[in-house]
Structure 1
Amino acid sequence: MQATNANPVYGYERLESLTRWESDWAGLRVVVAGLGISGFSAADTLIELGARVVVVDGNDNEVTRGKADTLAIVGSAGSVLGPDAMEALPLVDGQPAELVVTSPGLAPTIGILADAVGQKIQIWGDVELAWRLRERQGRTLVPWLCITGTNGKTTTVGMTESILQTAGHKAIAVGNVGTPILDALRDPVDYDFFTVELSSFQLHWTYSMSPLASVVLNVAEDHVDWHQGYANYLADKARIYENTQVACIFNANQQEIVQMVEEADVVEGARAIGFWADTPGLSMVGVIDGLLVDRAFLEDRRNQALELAEVADTGQLPTRHTVENALAAAALARAAGISPEEVKAGLLNYQPGAHRIQLVANTHGVLWVNDSKATNPHAANASLSSFTPVIWVAGGLSKGVTYDELVAEHKDRLKAVVVIGTDTAALISALAKQAPAVPVYNMTESPLLADARDGRAVMGLAVAKAHELSAQNDTVLMAPAAASMDQFVSYADRGNAFIDAVADLVNQINS
């Protein structure tokens, strides 16, 4: 790793000076693009600081109008709502904006952001704004432990938060999960740590952040349309390591992540700490004989290792993927000075979120597992790797991905595939090519289904078919490898539909 304390060069002298809460934000002309959770939080914060803010959103509905009205009451300069609102950058008080703060989901190519680039107006995300506001007179300067990756971010953030809280620290999960980071900054609680989940979208617009410790959990092709290519996606993920102070933690299984750490500009003295679910090398955390161990954060790491926890401490279904998340969380906590005993206690206290390799039922020798959060092939790969034989419930909005590699890797563990979703051509094609001997049942084409978009009805049919196919020692795994919005409101809605259908089935079996 290279070492530097350099910050990027900003285009305007005034913006360079905005590095703490007490800086001169008054009258700064800002356009906030997007009125979602992070956009509203950014606008509200900027108005509190005295900036002149115009909010822009492509939706003109009761929710966005309500948010815009609330901001107008506290002092915004106005709002632009509706389908054409995102086409061009509006004026603020009749003058060009000095800064744009964008919500993370908006692609850089959208009109309003492309217009800002053309006018040489800087674009920040809410994370960049939060980093510049973290220093505030009379308040604790909170260290950030930052987490990104294609999959596993929310679990790792939650595990890290649990470890820190169990150790007696005031810690909170912020960023892409839980509390908006700017809201946490304005909270009257003096926190000891922020555990910050960062998406590639957020990292794209972040420049000056300097985490205490940072980690990239894993990478695979995802959101390549937004980033205009996988190389750009990797480059944005790599930004998390820039200016890291103590430890750049990395998945040693993935050369792309190793390269990110090697090329990162870090604070002098920051270390590279690897992790994997195998015997750890020097300056790594890993697994030996069913134990999570630390060969990184101890004096005699050449000859000794510290026990952190047991594999069984990492969750109800301790899959390899879950163990890797726990190792990353443990390494972040150790970088923050947490003891091995506190790491173990924090992992035991962690309550995993629903829809992430969640055991729903174990009846008549059949495991029913809900991994609705597996919205892409990389995430589904993690859960498929953990069970055999599998009746796989899969399908949904594919987002343009391919399934050949996933199916080829797991064809020998597939007993059958039960397909849901309305965008299933790529999945069914991959199954036909890579696993022709595996039976496939497409529930969306069932004559019992009145409406292909009725997710609850589709899921009920899928669970019934999986039960019909299952035998003792099988696992029915709902890991769709696709987004949910074709038949469900969200991945959580899809997961709840599966849970409810399995509960109905179990009641019928036991009645």
Structure 2
Amino acid sequence: MDAETVRGCVVVAGLGLSGTAAARGLARGGERVVVLEQRERPIPEILSELGVEVRFGEQDLPARTELVVTSPGWKPDHPLLRAAASAGVEVIGEVELAWRLRHEGAAPWLALTGTNGKTTAVRMLTSMLAAAGERALAVGNVGVPIVDAVLDPGETTVLAVELSSFQLHWSASPAPKAAAILNVAPDHIDWHGSLEEYARAKARIFAKAERVIYNADDPWAARLAEPYRAKGDGRSVGWTLGVPRAGQLGVVEDLLVDRAFTGDPMRSAEELAALSDVHPFAPHNVANALAAAALARSHGVPASAVRQGLADFRPDPHRIAHVARVGEVDYVDDSKATNPHAAAASLAAYPSIVWIAGGQLKGADVEDLVRRAAPRLRGAVLLGVDRERIAEALARHAANVPVLEVAGDDTGVMDRVVTAAARLASPGDTVLLAPAGASLDMFPGYGARGEAFARAVRNLTGLTGLVER
């Protein structure tokens, strides 16, 4: 009998970024690895060099499978994963694999999750850690694949780990030094099956964390932290956009302050930064800064480094990014607002808005979003496959707001959208791209949608003068 037939294998489901990293790490550790990929795509040369077998289009579990490492995109009800469960084969994700592959004395993890704001908060955290002299690396759902960071740590002293609900669903062992939940709102229900299951996946980040950090203003985050807070052992730390109580970070007048990591939280607070240090400024970005600060402080970062880290921070594109001012109207790109919760945060940042919205709502409800935003809206321009649902909500909750729908999915549609928005806007307004939906009905991704918006804004130079900021 062929030796490879007798020898067991580890199956990696998916040949994307995380799947490739997992296969590479396992093969370097001496495992026989079989990658199953549903679509034909180029095989990374390193996998061929390591003897990794890649099978395209297969759904069956290979004989003598000992472990399955699944990629985030594979749903739990996928036939392969169900077959593994029926056969008693353990299924884990790349994050769980990374934790198991850690070496003794490995860099600690500062981990966070949430429906919105994860990448911004992780970038802020990394900047704060760097300002404190740490060799920090952003990993997980952002930056370097986490398996690569664990197996080749170099001089890294701490990992800032962004975790999605998909990754957490398949992770049971990670015990971060500190873990934070930013917020929880309906998203990815098609993957998890319900909001409760989605929230349960998020809560896994707290299970073995040394320190539990949560958004005291977010009902779901506070609820998920309650079992730890109730113990009263000082393990939990909250943050709020209001005045903080002992054991919290928060805002006092125009300052971000800490009443959790000080010598006497009951009687004293330490200034961390000013609101003006948070950029781009918006309430939800202040919340991101407080979350990052709480994680950094749990690692011993001084207040001065928190402030310096915020000053050094540069946000990723398409997150409430000011594009230009045209005729006393500001144009802002928040294409990353791909669900109603994110769009609500963006809309709350501006007093008078012409709203550009639409795309794939993924089954999400927009009623509450539109009802809350209605007093700020001066007009709305809608595009994308689910624009009619937003139009119906606007008719119910903002009947006096002019609404224009722009049909089509051609490359010029955003030019027509922005031109329509410009005609609705008055001096002092903000034309805000905060779609509340995914972009794949019309664009390769939210980045391409934001870039199309920025190009269309710059094309308005024929209407009036353009002032870049």
Decide: shared fold, TM above 0.5.
yes
Asked if residue 216 in structure 1 is aligned to residue 181 in structure 2, the reply is yes
Matched, 1:105 2:85: no
Partner of 1:380: 343
Q: Which of these residues, 62, 65, 75, is aligned with residue 51 of structure 2?
A: 75
Give the number of aligned pairs: 460
Please, what TM-score do these two structures have when normalized by structure 2? 0.95
Correspondence 1:395 to 2:350? no
8 Å contact kept, 2:359–2:387: yes
What secondary structure is seen at the aligned counterpart in 2 of 1:98?
strand
Match of 1:294 among 251, 255, 258: 258
Distance (whole Å) between structure 1 residues aligned to residue 376 and residue 405 of structure 2: 19
- Partners in 2 of 1:291 and 1:362 — Cα distance? 29
Q: Give the match for residue 102 of structure 2.
A: 134
| Alpha-carbon contact 1:41-1:183 (below 8 Å) kept | yes
Gaps of 5+ in 2: 1-6
Distance in 2 between residues matched to 1:147 and 1:101, nearest whole Å? 22
Residue 39 of structure 2 aligns with an amino acid whose one-letter code is: N
1:33 aligns with 13
Q: Secondary structure at the match of 2:138?
A: strand
Amino acid of the structure 2 residue aligned with 1:177: V
User: Aligned runs of 1:154-193 on 2, under 5 Å?
Assistant: 154-187=119-152, 189-193=154-158
Trace 1:310-349 onto structure 2 (pairs within 5 A).
310-316=274-280, 318-349=281-312
| Cα distance, 1:79 vs structure 2 | 2.1
Match of 2:327 in 1: 364
User: Residues of 2 paired with 1:205 and 1:291: CA distance?
Assistant: 39
| Identical columns (%) | 44
The CA deviation at 1:186 is 2.8
The superposition leaves residues 425-481 of structure 1 with CA deviations (integer Å, 9 ceiling, x where unpaired) of 22122112222221110111xxxxxxx221x31110111111111111101000000
Query: Partners in 1 of 2:447 and 2:255 — Cα distance?
Result: 32
Q: 1:263 Cα deviation (Å)?
A: 2.7
For the Cα contact (< 8 Å) 2:19–2:94, is it kept in 1? yes
Normalised to the residue count of structure 1, the TM-score between the two structures is 0.87
Residue 3 (structure 2) aligns with = none
Closer/same/farther in 2, CA of residues 117 and 332 from structure 1, 3 Å limit: same
Per the alignment, residue 121 of structure 1 pairs with: 89
Aligned to 2:438: 483
Please say if 1:494 is aligned against 2:449. yes
What amino acid maps onto 2:238 in structure 1?
G
Quote the Cα distance in structure 2 between the aligned partners of 1:90 and 1:441.
54
Contact 1:243-1:265 within 8 A present in 2 as well: no
Deviations 1:101-121 (A, max 9, x none): 000111000111011111111
**1:283 shift after superposition:** 0.4
Distance in 1 (alpha carbons) for counterparts of 2:186 and 2:228: 21
Q: Helix, strand or coil: the match of 2:35?
A: strand
Residue of structure 2 in register with 1:54 after alignment: 34
Distance verdict in 2 for CA 1:277–1:267, change over 3 Å: closer
Once the two structures are TM-superposed, the CA of residue 266 in structure 1 deviates from its matched residue by 12
Aligned to 1:438: 401
Q: Contact 1:33–1:39 at 8 Å: present in 2 too?
A: yes
The DSSP-based 3-state class of the residue aligned with 2:92 is strand
Q: Give CA deviations for 1:294-331 in whole Å, capped at 9, x if unaligned.
A: 00001111111100001111103x11100000000000
The structure-2 alpha-carbon separation of the partners of 1:268 and 1:170, relative to structure 1 and needing over 3 Å to count, comes to farther
Partner residue, 1:453? 409
1:41/1:135 Cα in 2 relative to 1: closer, same or farther (>3 Å)?
Answer: same
Task: Say if 1:159 and 1:498 are closer, same or farther in 2 by CA, change over 3 A.
Answer: same
Q: What is the DSSP-based 3-state SS (H/G/I as helix, E as strand, rest coil) of the residue aligned with 1:174?
A: strand
Contact 1:248 1:270 in 2 (8 A): no
Distance in 2, Cα, partners of 1:333 & 1:342: 9
Q: 1:266 to 1:178 in 2, by over 3 A?
A: farther
Task: Note the C-alpha offset of 1:171.
Answer: 0.3
Cα contact 2:217–2:241 (8 A) shared by 1: no
Match of 1:19 in 2: none
| Matches of 1:53 and 1:267, distance apart in 2 | 44
**Unpaired segments of 5 or more residues in structure 1?**
1-26, 445-451
